[in-house]
Chain A
Amino acid sequence: MPQNRQNPNRKDESIRRANRVIQTRTFVLMLIMGIGMFIVLFFKLYSLQITRHEELQSKAVSQQTRSSVVNADRGTIYDASGNILAISSTAETIFLSPKEINDALNDEKNPVTWTKETLADALADILDVSEEGILKKMARTNSMYEVLKYRVEEDVANEVRQYINDHKVKGVFLTTDAKRYYPYSDLASHVIGFVGTDYTGLYGLEAEYDKELQGKSGLVVTAKDNKQNDMLFEYSQYFDPEDGDQLQVTLEATVQYYLQKGMEDMCDAFSPANGATGIVMDVRNGGILAMASYPNYDLNDFSTVTDQTLLERIERGEIDTGDAQLIQWRNKALNDTYEPGSTFKILTLAAALEEGLIDKNTTVNCSGAVTISGQTIHCSSKAGHGLQNLEQTVGNSCNPAFISYGLKLGTEKFYEYMRSFGIMSPTGIDLGGEATGVFAADANFTQLDLACYAFGQNFTVTPLALITAQAACVNGGYLYTPHFAQQITDSDGNVIWQHDDTPVRQVISEETSATVRECLEYVVAKGTGKNGQVAGYRIGGKTGTADKGQTGDVVVSFLCFAPADDPQIMMLITMDTPSRSTGTYVSGGNMVAPYASHIMEEILPYLGIEPSYSAEELMGVDTTVPNVIGMSVQEAEDRMKERGFTCKVEGDGETITDQTPVGGAIIPGKSTVVLYAGVDKPDKMCTVPSLVGRTASEANTAATNAGLLLRFTGTTSSESNTVLVFSQDLEAGTEVPAGTVITVRLGDTTVRD
């Protein structure tokens, strides 16, 4: 019984135990699987979706979207007159997706009619790129973006588009971007600079004002699946581009044109081995009106070397194309320094005058050489200039005289003025890569150094720093920061920045400046700068022929400004190592000054600087007007010019139908003849102006404005401001036909008996 009883009991016990084990273990399993497991998973998900969300999301975006940049319109660069120097227009980039091309070719379900070869051949033909290059790009079959050509013109892009459509080509795409155009090609190329393939400025103003011009690129983001199709749902975002700001610079395209034309002629004549540079500056504020550097290049094709000298050097194997590009992109006006030579004497003169060490009455006796610290320094005139007054020392460019001025100043004062003129530091112009000259340290600046420095040798300076200081010498003493940027406007036309014309400092006094001007006018009127004269204008200037160390090579230069009594513009032209075999005596006065004269002749009237002909010039020789009616316009103009007349053509016909004055009339040379081509001569009457008491020049202007001609008689003198009109043959207020000649009598008002 007890056993029997015990048995089921024990059995129950073991069953219960087994059941309990199952229950307990099931419960534990329930906790592990129902709760524990999910807590682990939750933390893992949290770390991925919250902690690493940003990182993974950016990876997702970068693979799922194909974003195409929409370039902002880069700002336009204008010259001072509003001519466009650099402008953007849209162009297209053509690229291919080798992966898609491969997929399309391997897709047996949808056979294509083209092959890699036919496609490459056609594209090479349309885009003018090498076929092998295209095939090489096509071979990168895991790539989806291989650019074939940037900045493709619209018509070429359309051709590509047509080809894609005609042949059902896959994997060739076009995107729009912008292209930079430089309407004047090689005009002021070193100043304007250019942009690279990524559309950022690389050189010149394009680089200097890159941030302002660039604007903010826009972006189109489209979602793409792994086969680069748009996803099934719409997902695209468009971020508007912000157009760049407009830059207006002080450059004058016309002035630049004449400067380059003149300098090209000069370079053709003297083939300088190391190029040339020219700067035209507004002395009243430091604005650069023109700046040229040679060798030059075309901004629209900036990689191509066209300069003859450079091409010859490449051919001789001296340099490779890369070197040549770097040379042609160099702006010699401020990237390079040179020993200025005699043009620098202006600064020595100004400093010595300002210090009161010399004055108009100073005289210097030149024996042809001077010995400083045991070294003999020769003057350009071996025989010596003899006794000279101040103007003559400048006019003769006499080295001993300037050595004496420099020594009078002493080393300390001399450096003080050098610093004050800004010669020893960068000018701060808004163009990259400005160089600074090399000078002896203050402590090592000896008397001999000073003697050489006084006439511009043994130290170097950039042409830009020199002209900036020289402008200060003649403009009343004010040193301005040379600059290009005049104002910046946003794309809506609001002015957001304007150049501040405040001078940096006054270096010399107005009086000193006036004396310097007189001396420099003398240089052109009577001295070494005679070839720089421009009829009708008072020109001041200074020549320079600087030795390049002991090499025997020279840099010839000419500085001039006008009008000499009230300077507005200044021009410095230098030419590095001109050929010695041209037959022209190697000097600034002989090589550079004549071309400078031509340039000034063109740019002064353009800039509205009126010629003030001296009576002597105005008198000219009376000339008979030829009859040109019935001739072609060109022929008629040539005939008139032969006789020294200037012409004004009215109407746009091809042959001359009438003229004023009529053929056979005797009028002063240099008068203006009006030719009518297809329009009737107006029979309007002109009122004779009152001319008595005016200078010859003023009288001429008044008569021309009234449509009449003048003929001068009587006393003439080069000191024209004392010669005035005594009388006129037609009374003021009389109505006469246009082109009538008024005869006036001149007389020197200072003559006393």
Chain B
Amino acid sequence: MAQQPRPVRYSEKMRRKAVERKHILAAKGGRMDVPFLLLTLMLTGVGLVMLFSASFPSAFYETGGSNPAYYFKRQGIFAALGLFAMFVVGKINYQRWRGAARMLLIFSICLLILVIVPHVGITSNNATRWLGIEGVFTFQPSEIAKLAVIVYFADSISKKREKMLQWREGILPYAAILGVIAILMLLEPHLSGTILIVGTGAIMMAVGGIQGWLIGAGVGSVAAVAVLFVKLVEKGVISYGASRITMWHDPWLDMSDSGYQMVQSLIAIGSGGLLGLGLGKGRQKFLYLPEEHNDFIFAVVCEELGLIGACVIMLIFALLLLRGFWIALHARDRFGTLLVVGIMAHLGLQVFLNIAVVTGLVPATGISLPFFSYGGTALALQLVEMGIVLSVSRQIPAPRNG
């Protein structure tokens, strides 16, 4: 009896050492997933080109004609920094994120609290979402919170295994974290960011192994609430968000005011047709389409590159997602899997919601398009996330040869 644990303990120790060695070997020797890397670079490149095309009229007018490449240059700098960061992160053993997970989460929650402290956060368009020095460098703490949630959830869930089936272990802590973050972000307010973080967190919980019926119930209740909300708005019971819903149904009702953005977006997309007007030859960006280099950049893509161009870009996104999930499926451990699932789910949600908003499929919220929309920190962080995926991809065990 007494002897028996030894070999176990020994073997356990040996096993851990062996694992450690393997980790180090994998981290050192494994190669980054080339398809995923190429797709990421491709999107970054195409995104920059489209940003230049979409932003030059605004830059032209805002700088009085002196610097039409203003936005492009700034975005380019962040893209370069982001790519550098991506390679660095890709080289780092992703297991290191485990240790940082809890700290990162606490840190990001602190930042979120800091944002809503009066006079600390930077307010723009009636929302206080930014920290930093205005005009020099600003960033959204919610971006960091997103990453923190993904890393923390991946770490925590990967340790829980079958405990995920339990209510106390599998649901409550995560729901609490998401709840706190959601409340803080809604105070900014930042609805779209909240949706993304909660959605990503929920997907990670679902993939992580919570009860199957809970997933069904969750999806079902979200759908039910959404439908109920829309119905109640239509009946006039709820007035909050009423104009968004009405404008979603028929933006042409109020073309000059609340439906303006949607109408301009639809006009841009529709006038692109099959082949588009040609790169750089879009017209809607000339002060017609608001947010043309931010949330509505995809409308410019559709206008200039047509259905074919838009589909090619969507295809690159799709391939990136597929490859990402492929990496998740082949990751060495659950942590890697969940980390990649979280990052890819976040990316997928964001792409889907952005294009759905721009095309009028869902009511308008401000969700940017990864790799395309203007926003330096967001792009850099996106590339860091891609770096994490690449890091996971480096440790994929080589297929056993028969």
User: Which A residues fall within an 8 A CB radius of B?
Assistant: 4, 14-15, 17-19, 21-23, 25-27, 29-30, 33-35, 37-38, 40-42, 44-46, 48-50, 52-53, 55-57, 59-61, 63-64, 142, 223, 225-227, 231-233, 235
- B322's contact among A34, A45, A232, by CB below 8 Å, is which? A34
**Do B337 and A44 have beta carbons less than 8 Å apart?**
no
Q: Which residue of B lies closest to A37 (CB)?
A: B352
Interface membership of chain B positions 233-269, coded 1 if the CB is closer than 8 angstroms to chain A and 0 otherwise? 0000000000000000000000010000000001111
**Do A64 and B321 have beta carbons less than 8 Å apart?**
no
Q: Which residue of B lies closest to A233 (CB)?
A: B281
Q: Which residue of A lies closest to B341 (CB)?
A: A26
| A33-B334 contact given A18-B161, A41-B361, CB 8 Å threshold | no
CA distance A23 to B337 in the complex (A): 8
**Do B208 and A29 have beta carbons less than 8 Å apart?**
no
Kindly state whether residue B272 has any CB partner on chain A within 8 Å.
Answer: yes
Interface membership of chain B positions 315-352, coded 1 if the CB is closer than 8 angstroms to chain A and 0 otherwise? 10111011001101100001001100100110011011
Max chain A CB contacts within 10 Å: which of B164, B269, B319, B360?
B269
**Do B162 and A57 have beta carbons less than 8 Å apart?**
no
Q: Which residue of B lies closest to A20 (CB)?
A: B209
CA distance A63 to B326 in the complex (A): 46
CA distance A227 to B311 in the complex (A): 32
Q: B42-50, B80-88, B176-184, B284-292: which lies at the A interface?
A: B284-292
Kindly state whether residue B90 has any CB partner on chain A within 8 Å.
Answer: no
**Do B269 and A56 have beta carbons less than 8 Å apart?**
yes
| A49-B314 contact given A23-B329, A225-B287, A226-B286, CB 8 Å threshold | no
CA distance A383 to B152 in the complex (A): 131
Kindly state whether residue B376 has any CB partner on chain A within 8 Å.
Answer: no
**Do B273 and A53 have beta carbons less than 8 Å apart?**
yes
Q: B102-110, B118-126, B190-198, B302-310: which lies at the A interface?
A: B302-310
Kindly state whether residue B92 has any CB partner on chain A within 8 Å.
Answer: no
Interface size on B, as a range, is: 35 or more
| 6 closest Cβ pairs, A-B complex | A56-B270, A30-B325, A225-B286, A33-B348, A226-B287, A60-B271
**Do A19 and B334 have beta carbons less than 8 Å apart?**
yes
Q: Which residue of B lies closest to A46 (CB)?
A: B307
Kindly state whether residue B57 has any CB partner on chain A within 8 Å.
Answer: yes
B182 to chain A, nearest CB (A): 22
- A22's contact among B283, B326, B337, by CB below 8 Å, is which? B337
**Do B207 and A25 have beta carbons less than 8 Å apart?**
yes
CA distance A34 to B320 in the complex (A): 8
- B161's contact among A4, A14, A225, A226, by CB below 8 Å, is which? A14
| A42-B273 contact given A26-B207, A30-B322, CB 8 Å threshold | no
A189 to chain B, nearest CB (A): 46
| A49-B272 contact given A14-B162, A18-B161, A26-B207, CB 8 Å threshold | yes
- Provide the residues of chain A in CB contact with B203, threshold 8 Å: 29
B331 to chain A, nearest CB (A): 9
CA distance A29 to B306 in the complex (A): 29
A106 to chain B, nearest CB (A): 16
| A49-B287 contact given A37-B352, A38-B314, A60-B267, CB 8 Å threshold | no
**Do A38 and B318 have beta carbons less than 8 Å apart?**
yes
Q: Which residue of B lies closest to A53 (CB)?
A: B273
- Provide the residues of chain A in CB contact with B307, threshold 8 Å: 45-46, 49-50
**Do A33 and B288 have beta carbons less than 8 Å apart?**
no
Kindly state whether residue B222 has any CB partner on chain A within 8 Å.
Answer: no
**Do B272 and A64 have beta carbons less than 8 Å apart?**
no
CA distance A35 to B355 in the complex (A): 15
| A44-B359 contact given A22-B208, A26-B337, A227-B287, CB 8 Å threshold | yes
- A35's contact among B256, B318, B359, by CB below 8 Å, is which? B318
CA distance A678 to B139 in the complex (A): 100
- Provide the residues of chain B in CB contact with A45, threshold 8 Å: 269, 302, 307, 310-311, 355, 359
- A27's contact among B270, B274, B325, B361, by CB below 8 Å, is which? B325
**Do A40 and B361 have beta carbons less than 8 Å apart?**
yes
| A57-B329 contact given A44-B361, A48-B266, A49-B306, CB 8 Å threshold | no
| A33-B325 contact given A48-B266, A225-B57, CB 8 Å threshold | yes
Q: Which residue of B lies closest to A58 (CB)?
A: B271
- Tell me the B158-185 residues at the A interface (CB within 8 Å): 161-162, 164
CA distance A21 to B317 in the complex (A): 26
**Do B209 and A18 have beta carbons less than 8 Å apart?**
yes
**Do A49 and B325 have beta carbons less than 8 Å apart?**
no
- Tell me the B131-154 residues at the A interface (CB within 8 Å): none
A660 to chain B, nearest CB (A): 82
**Do B352 and A33 have beta carbons less than 8 Å apart?**
yes
**Do A57 and B4 have beta carbons less than 8 Å apart?**
no
A237 to chain B, nearest CB (A): 14
Kindly state whether residue B206 has any CB partner on chain A within 8 Å.
Answer: yes
CA distance A26 to B321 in the complex (A): 12
**Do B337 and A37 have beta carbons less than 8 Å apart?**
no
**Do A63 and B329 have beta carbons less than 8 Å apart?**
no
Q: List 11 A-B contacts (CB under 8 A).
A: A14-B161, A30-B328, A37-B348, A37-B351, A40-B361, A49-B306, A49-B310, A50-B273, A53-B273, A57-B270, A231-B286
- Provide the residues of chain A in CB contact with B310, threshold 8 Å: 45, 49
CA distance A233 to B306 in the complex (A): 19
- A60's contact among B162, B207, B268, by CB below 8 Å, is which? B268
- B325's contact among A26, A52, A60, by CB below 8 Å, is which? A26
CA distance A52 to B360 in the complex (A): 13
- A56's contact among B266, B334, B356, by CB below 8 Å, is which? B266
Max chain B CB contacts within 10 Å: which of A46, A49, A52, A142?
A49
- Provide the residues of chain B in CB contact with A235, threshold 8 Å: 283
**Do A232 and B318 have beta carbons less than 8 Å apart?**
no
| A59-B269 contact given A38-B318, A41-B352, A49-B307, CB 8 Å threshold | no
- A34's contact among B209, B256, B318, by CB below 8 Å, is which? B318
B29 to chain A, nearest CB (A): 25
Kindly state whether residue B229 has any CB partner on chain A within 8 Å.
Answer: no
- Provide the residues of chain B in CB contact with A4, threshold 8 Å: 4
Interface membership of chain B positions 1-45, coded 1 if the CB is closer than 8 angstroms to chain A and 0 otherwise? 000100000000000000000000000000000000000000000
Interface membership of chain B positions 346-379, coded 1 if the CB is closer than 8 angstroms to chain A and 0 otherwise? 0011011001100111000000000000000000
- A49's contact among B4, B208, B269, B329, by CB below 8 Å, is which? B269
- B206's contact among A18, A25, A37, by CB below 8 Å, is which? A25
- Provide the residues of chain B in CB contact with A53, threshold 8 Å: 270-271, 273-274
- Provide the residues of chain A in CB contact with B337, threshold 8 Å: 22-23, 26
A635 to chain B, nearest CB (A): 76
**Do B287 and A57 have beta carbons less than 8 Å apart?**
no
B226 to chain A, nearest CB (A): 16
B207 to chain A, nearest CB (A): 4
**Do A41 and B314 have beta carbons less than 8 Å apart?**
yes
- Provide the residues of chain B in CB contact with A44, threshold 8 Å: 355-356, 359-361
Q: Which residue of A lies closest to B338 (CB)?
A: A22
**Do B269 and A38 have beta carbons less than 8 Å apart?**
no
Kindly state whether residue B70 has any CB partner on chain A within 8 Å.
Answer: no
Kindly state whether residue B97 has any CB partner on chain A within 8 Å.
Answer: no
Q: Which residue of B lies closest to A27 (CB)?
A: B329
**Do B283 and A223 have beta carbons less than 8 Å apart?**
yes
CA distance A23 to B338 in the complex (A): 10
Interface membership of chain B positions 203-242, coded 1 if the CB is closer than 8 angstroms to chain A and 0 otherwise? 1001111000000000000000000000000000000000
CA distance A48 to B359 in the complex (A): 8
- Provide the residues of chain A in CB contact with B274, threshold 8 Å: 49-50, 53
- Provide the residues of chain A in CB contact with B209, threshold 8 Å: 18, 21-22, 25
Q: Which residue of A lies closest to B337 (CB)?
A: A22
- Provide the residues of chain B in CB contact with A26, threshold 8 Å: 207, 325, 328-329, 337, 341
CA distance A471 to B326 in the complex (A): 100
A71 to chain B, nearest CB (A): 27
A22 to chain B, nearest CB (A): 6
Q: Which residue of A lies closest to B56 (CB)?
A: A232
Q: Which residue of B lies closest to A18 (CB)?
A: B161
- Provide the residues of chain B in CB contact with A225, threshold 8 Å: 57, 286-288
Q: Which residue of A lies closest to B321 (CB)?
A: A34
**Do A41 and B355 have beta carbons less than 8 Å apart?**
yes
